[in-house]
Amino acid sequence: MKRLSLLDANGRVALVTGAAGGIGRATVGLFKAAGAKVVAFDRDRARLPASGGPVLALAGDATDEHAVRKAVEAAVARFGRLDYAVSAVGCAVSGKLDGITLAQWKQIIDINLTSAFVLARECHAHLTRPAGAMVLLASTNGRNGGGPLSGAAYAVAKAGVINLCRYLAKEWAPEGLRVNSVMPGPVATPMLDRFSAKQHARLKASMPLKHFAEAGEIAAAIGYLCSEHAVTMTGACINVSGGLVLD
């Protein structure tokens, strides 16, 4: 029997939105190491991986349909195809419901959920058939309702991501396209920097494994879902939460 590595992406092309974040950068690195050419897309130009060789870095807003469309078109024009699309965009606002403004609510929904919808719609026609794969970044907050640390809008948006994944899995399956999601718990990235040391300790104590995931661990789950190991998986949500959520 042929022994498969986690991900053999030689000759393949990936587009990663949210590529300047901790998980996004790790995902770009994983695809690159697996032999893929990668389009790294994020609005934070300064923190994007450097362009060159197999990586094309593009600055833009993941909620802007025109910017995302141009990124998809650039991937196909530069590298000739599109095999994987990963939505690794995420942003949260702490606080109870009555302390969140309408503008903040809309912003968080847009960044976390609308961005996934936009990427899915714009990349759909270009994904390789069969065997194209899309992975959406969800969160335990989308499964358990979250709390004030990440806020109501984040929990609602990530629940929407999980169900967008399920919907797309059914709609795209006849075309041979797979759509899955990854549901991290707390991850040791700058997104946790907004918490105090006391909040960090309390959050870690609430996890059965007492361990924050590393960005590379989430990237590995994304890579698995894009790999030949997962060819019969679609509509799945992989739980990487240190036991914080138990399916």
Is-above-0.75 flag for pTM?
yes
Q: How many CA atoms lie within 13 A of 173 on its CB side?
A: 13
- The strand pairing partners of 85, in sequence order, are 15, 134
Single out the residue of 76, 93, 91, 92 nearest to residue 37, CA to CA: 76
Burial 193-207 (b: 16+ CB within 10 A, else e): eebeeeeeeebeeeb
**Domain map (residue ranges) of the chain:** 13-240
Which of 84, 154, 167, 224 is the catalytic position? 154
Indicate the SS3 state at residue 154: helix
pLDDT tens-digit profile, the chain (247 residues): 444 468 999 999 999 999 999 999 999 999 999 999 999 999 999 999 999 999 999 999 999 999 999 999 999 999 999 999 999 999 888 889 999 999 999 999 999 999 999 999 999 999 999 999 999 999 998 998 888 888 899 999 999 999 999 999 999 999 999 999 999 987 766 666 666 677 767 776 676 676 777 889 999 999 999 999 999 999 999 999 876 778 7
**Residue 185 contacts residue 237 (beta carbons within 8 Å):** no
pLDDT of residue 205: 66
Single out the residue of 179, 182, 240, 165 nearest to residue 207, CA to CA: 240
Q: Is 167 a catalytic residue?
A: no
Q: What is the 3-state secondary structure (H, E, C) of 173-228?
A: HHHCCEEEEEEECCECCHHHHHCCHHHHHHHHHCCCCCCCECHHHHHHHHHHHHCH
What token pair was written down for 27?
Answer: 């995902």
12, 98, 156, 218, 220 from 23: Cα distances, Å: 20, 30, 21, 7, 10
Q: What is the 3-state secondary structure (H, E, C) of 90-150?
A: CCCCCCCHHHCCHHHHHHHHHHHHHHHHHHHHHHHHHECCCCCEEEEECCCHHHHCCCCCC
Rounded CA gap, 196 and 90, in Å? 20
DSSP state of 1: -
The domain 13-240 belongs to what CATH superfamily?
NAD(P)-binding Rossmann-like Domain (3.40.50.720)
Q: Quote the distance between the C-alpha of residue 9 and its chain's center.
A: 18
